[in-house]
Structure 1
Amino acid sequence: MRGEICVGAASFFTFAASVIMVFAHIGQINPSPIPRVLSMIRLDVSNLGNTLQAANRNTSYSALYASTTNLTALGSGAGLRNHYDWGLLNSCGYMSSNVANCNTTALGKTFKPFDAILSDLPSQYQAQVNALVPAGSSFASSDYTGRLTQAAFWLIFIGSCSALIAFICGVIPNRLAFLGAAVWAIISAIALAVGAAIWTAVYVKVKAISTGSNPAITVHFGNSIILTWVSFALVTLSIFPYIISCCTFRR
């Protein structure tokens, strides 16, 4: 009976981790109600226009942002969105909570915040915005953030798949299956932890752009990073019950 409780608890933890990671992965695949509220990092540029206007009072910034009535595709240089959200598979630009454009969903999406701004920015404002963002900052280093977040994606993807495999192995009443479940849970925990840590570190680095009491660009920690950390904790909790079940299981 005690063994059944152990393996049942472990199966619950890995199943819950797998379900949570499904939600983490669907963030920003489109702007529908559930995906649009899930993101790894949010970039708010709604105050950028006010900052530029205060520094250059003789210049008009009326064309800085895209029109809500005629949104073109992201990256077309037709104007900024108020904020941009990055998920594991895609990113979207929002004028409001229900007015948005998204990129094409794909595996291994990268986080390149400054590139996203520049690709939407009308050409007449490129020089001012480039001057506003320090050239050597992590925020402006798209290669740095891109490589790290691409590696983090694959780690999180592997960790998510491993959690599901651990759950499947754990429901098979066999000592070797329980041992396999423990091994897959260990792999999942390591991959999820490293992937979540990379995203957390990237957030800390790029958040440095949000200086002052009223910053032009604000970087927000996404709830999908939190979901990834929660999944890591759940999978970690499953490891010892799986090992105990492997050692004590009797037909």
Structure 2
Amino acid sequence: MPGFCASLGLTFSFAAVVLLVFGQVSQINSDLIPRHLRIVSIDTSGLGVAVASAARAATGGIQIANVSDIYATTGVGEDYFVKATGASPHTGLYKGYEWGLWSYCTTQGDLGDKRSYCYTRSIHPTFQPAQVLLQDVDTQYADLLRQVLPNNVFTADAYLGEWTKAASYLIMAGSLCAALTAIVGFFARRGAFVLATLLNLAAFVGLFAGSIIWTVIVARARSAINDATAEGTDVGITLEYGNALWIMWAATVLSLASVVPLAFACCTGRSGTERTERIKAYAPPSEVLVVAPKQLQ
């Protein structure tokens, strides 16, 4: 029974690690798998109408002949580039923005289409959508975009950045603990199971805290922007949860599920000394050399 519980706990832990790997690689580059995994996505396809409406309402403002003027002219998958830290090319907005834990990418197509650019992977990850949009839009439309974006959670870059950075670090710490759990648990000793259980608890706490922060942040930003209007016109930005966020939650549940069987294994399993003594008790007796007495002469 202890062996079965240990195996079950390790299976759950290993499955959590596999899911965490997929969650960590989301949006780090333009490869097939990373670009189909995301924590949060933003569709700006309707933003041009709102900016054009704001331009018409502004006295002496810039008139936009075509709502597509604020978007980059590249097609899907054309002119892919890596955007370095602090770079602000102002080449125009992109239709889709997709954030992972450590980076974000853009596309002129639908979710998962070929990338237009990806942000340089960073050890300081943040989710700051308003800042990203203002960096991309042409400078002549920047003020109009600021007027359109609602002055609330969506534009609170410091708030969003600090909380999502902390959440990503918590998920990273939880991922490392989950990986160590899967490694340590293979040493079939009571002490190893105790350490694996403690590491697994730490993994669950880190993953749960990080996932709940990301979920709350995305929920608040989503409610702030999806129904927002400017001058009576819908802002035209749609923010949605990504599949990588649900992958993180699945890994969190698996991490919690592995705690009980690992704890049972460490409480009922035998230590290394007890196992050795048990083996000795059932070992066959050593051979006894019998010397026949000399025959009487």
Q: 2:258 aligns with which of 230, 238, 246?
A: 238
Cross-structure match for 1:144: 159
Structure showing greater radius of gyration is: 2
Shift of 1:56: 4.2
Q: 2:169 aligns with which of 146, 154, 162?
A: 154
Gaps of 5+ in 2: 57-62, 276-297
Distance 1:30 1:70, change over 3 A: closer
Q: Which letter does structure 2 place at the counterpart of 1:234?
A: L
Shift of 1:186: 0.4
Mapped to 1, the partners of 2:79 and 2:246 lie a distance apart of 34
Cross-structure match for 1:59: 64
Number of residue pairs the alignment of both structures matches:
249
Gaps of 5+ in 1: none
Mapped to 2, the partners of 1:99 and 1:225 lie a distance apart of 20
Cross-structure match for 2:7: 8
**Is residue 94 of structure 2 the alignment partner of residue 81 of structure 1?**
yes
Distance 1:125 1:71, change over 3 A: farther
Residue 10 of structure 2 aligns to a residue whose secondary structure is: helix
Q: TM-score, normalised by structure 2?
A: 0.80
Q: Which letter does structure 2 place at the counterpart of 1:117?
A: L
Q: TM-score, normalised by structure 1?
A: 0.94
Mapped to 2, the partners of 1:49 and 1:143 lie a distance apart of 26
Cross-structure match for 2:60: none
Shift of 1:67: 1.6
Residue 13 of structure 1 aligns to a residue whose secondary structure is: helix
Verify the 8 A CA contact 1:48 1:217 in the aligned structure 2. yes
Cross-structure match for 1:111: 127
Q: Which letter does structure 2 place at the counterpart of 1:78?
A: T
Cross-structure match for 1:131: 147
Cross-structure match for 2:225: 209
Which aligned segments of 4 or more residues in structure 1 are displaced greater than 2 angstroms? Answer: 50-63, 69-75, 212-215
Shift of 1:149: 0.6
**Is residue 193 of structure 2 the alignment partner of residue 178 of structure 1?**
yes
Shift of 1:228: 0.8
Shift of 1:131: 0.9
